[in-house]
Chain A
């Protein structure tokens, strides 16, 4: 009985700790005072990138940096995270906002407070030269019992593949873009899926004539990301939205995202409500 009691007591202790940490909130005044906002990124150019010198760039952090500056927060401090770990990390107070190309999907919209759309992109496949397995959609991968797809863990592509009916053991969770291309070259996977611009960026770096790109993937919608805040930080999100809107109207938004290859018009022509409802 003694062990039973101990287990119950420690479980209760665990619960009280877990209950105690739910009340994180970042308000603008606090961020201004500390002088920086903590952002989560993924190091997936052109969405987010970390240079050899440690400098953070990429379209999403660049937009966030400009907006936070206008809100009076001088700098952003980035930490690299897996896509799947971003929302739990946000909820656990490890960062204040996610600016990583985390596309809006209904279940994500339920978990976080998104800003208005920032970056929009379609999905793409990287395959061996000549597309030997003739992939055009996620359904094609599900239908071929030998096809293995690589996708980022907890990313949109993993979900799309699973939703299309690819069994779990044929969806290989790839830790980062470089490993994905390497695994494709080594024949560990038959197709590697990421958004169009990310695949193009990786392919130009890999510079391998034996690989080619299939884009856009048929049947996969065009997704947009937004800066993602905690549900209780709606006030901060609204302040962010106001500046984002001004940025879009003044044309500066296009100047930031278009050099990276993103379409500013695509982000301006849609809105959060549409995107959050999109996949339903």
Chain B
């Protein structure tokens, strides 16, 4: 009884000195991020690409599937900024729309798979024993088959208006394993810290300990990892779409535009060059941000920058 009345008092006492460092940590990280040129360049590139992806289809005078029969397989011109393909479709509009979808897929997959990885890894690491074995065994099993095979078999489900969302869920469902193993390792070491013990002895349920104490403690790592996951997802989706096993028309992603252009790479280079350049820039920007974030957020990876 007495402990419950004392708790708020004690809480404020221990919290009081802990408050000042928190904002300074944030400021510290921010200062470092601004000082890291890669992150700034990456963000600038990403902002530019996002602008292009969401404004491009709007400002372009052409529709995504609209055909200009007077200009088939034409090079870049004032009318068609990136040129046209064999059926007279505007490459700029297609690339911008494809970029938009690729970007969305990347972000969604990264969010879902990082959430799954964090939960699975933290639960496995915190509970240990049978839970740990079962979850890690599932992760091992999911690592045995290349995700590409499973996605390719299931590709017929990607048709229709919400088909790309199914692809997102599957991509996420097949890419959480490696991160979850890392999270598990960190959880095992965090589990023995005093504040976790304290929370446990105070009777906080394990679910709450994991969500409120363990996962926030590795948030920096999770953020950096999620960023890398964005680029992995975009690359994976491109490869699938290239073989016609990813997002299905009328939806369009960069992979589809690139696949269209690849056959004309020598005769009509603009069909291949522009979407590919956009894709590489996108992945490069995301990787630069992720890499810089990791350096800024993870104190153990200092001095690795170059």
Do these two chains really belong together in a complex? Answer: no
- Interface set of B (CB-CB < 8 Å, partner A): none
